[in-house]
Amino acid sequence: MQILFTILLSLTVTFNAVSQISGKVFDQKTGNPLYGVVLTSEEGEIVSITDRDGLFALPENGGSFVLRALGYRDTTIGISNGDDTDFWGIGLIPKTYELPEVLISDKHPESKIFGLDKRRLRSFSIFSFGPRVGGSLTIGTMLRNQNSGVISSVSVYFTEVGIRTNYQLLRLRIFEINSEGEPGSDLLRSLVVLRPQETGWYDIDLNEFHVPLPGTDFLVAVEFIQRRYDESDIKSERYGNAFDLGFTKVRRRERSEVGFWLKTNQGLWRNQSWPSVPLIRVEAIIDTRD
């Protein structure tokens, strides 16, 4: 007989167990099994890790254990001897993360999954700057991941195309989300050159990189770099990162017609004028087939 328990944050639940402790860990909201949940003893030693089906087994026959998973609240359970139940269902509560954003020009709905074999996780990360109006934001939206497979491509959408947007440098970055809910290690960091000649989507094919999906939530971001050259000095350039993910750099020049909102190391925002920057939307295309 299986008994299903709901495990809440900061709540310690006591079970009775037989010689071996086993069970299944799942997302309390969706019911989906959680892969890679770490169970540690009171001494901090790792005693088990859930498999792809969310299953775990413990060599212990009792004690207190902490369950930790990226994107979920830590949960403590207590197990004692004396009962014949040998399988436990444990639901973890997802954390909610908020990424700072500035100057959003459109609605920002939650990420959605489309399709069957190939699923599109749309971040709807949208921003635009009007004439002489700067702006900057972290638009690399965290995507809820419950799939396996690889990230096959990322698309960038341009709504304004002109002389200033014919040469775009994009640093594509895909991050794992760490235990603090912030971008952690890079799964991919690659410089891409786009030359948009008209409004529309421009695909960045990632098949050659074969970027695996992490077992938990992840973040797709594009560092937008604008270069402008003039006839008098072909090396004259000014570029900036419109996505504040720990990398912001500006090459100072005596004169330049472009600009942006720049977040300095001191956490201050400086406004630089930029006559025209295209509205950009980014979406990750996920191939869920291994």
Q: What is the pLDDT of residue 45?
A: 81
- The answer to whether 237 touches 229, Cβ cutoff 8 Å, is yes
Topology adopted by domain 3-92: Immunoglobulin-like (2.60.40)
What number of CA atoms fall less than 13 Å from residue 28's CA on the CB side? 17
Q: Where are the domains of the chain?
A: 3-92, 113-287
Closest CA to 269 of 137, 161, 73, 143: 137
Look-up of token digits 């604008």? 226
Please give the Cα distance from 285 to 121 (Å, whole number).
Answer: 6
Per-residue pLDDT of the chain (290 residues; tens, 9 = 90+): 344 344 333 344 444 444 567 889 998 888 888 887 888 888 878 788 888 788 888 776 677 888 888 778 888 888 765 556 677 888 998 875 443 333 333 333 333 322 222 333 333 333 333 332 222 333 444 555 555 666 767 766 655 444 444 445 566 777 776 666 666 777 776 766 666 666 667 777 776 666 776 666 676 666 555 444 333 333 333 333 333 222 222 233 322 222 333 333 444 333 333 333 334 455 555 554 44
Residue 282 burial (C-beta neighbours within 10 Å; 0-12, 13-18, 19+): buried
Q: Tell me the two tokens of residue 65.
A: 């254990």
- Rounded to whole angstroms, what are the CA distances from 290 to 95, 112, 141? 27, 21, 24
Which amino acid is it at 96?
A: T
- The answer to whether 136 touches 262, Cβ cutoff 8 Å, is yes
Q: What is the pTM of this model?
A: 0.35
Closest CA to 27 of 195, 216, 175, 258: 216
Strand order across the beta sheet in which 21-27 lies: 3-6, 88-92, 21-27, 55-58
Please give the Cα distance from 142 to 3 (Å, whole number).
Answer: 34
CA-derived radius of gyration, the chain? 24
- The answer to whether 21 touches 77, Cβ cutoff 8 Å, is no
DSSP character for 131?
A: T
Please give the Cα distance from 188 to 155 (Å, whole number).
Answer: 15
Please give the Cα distance from 166 to 229 (Å, whole number).
Answer: 12
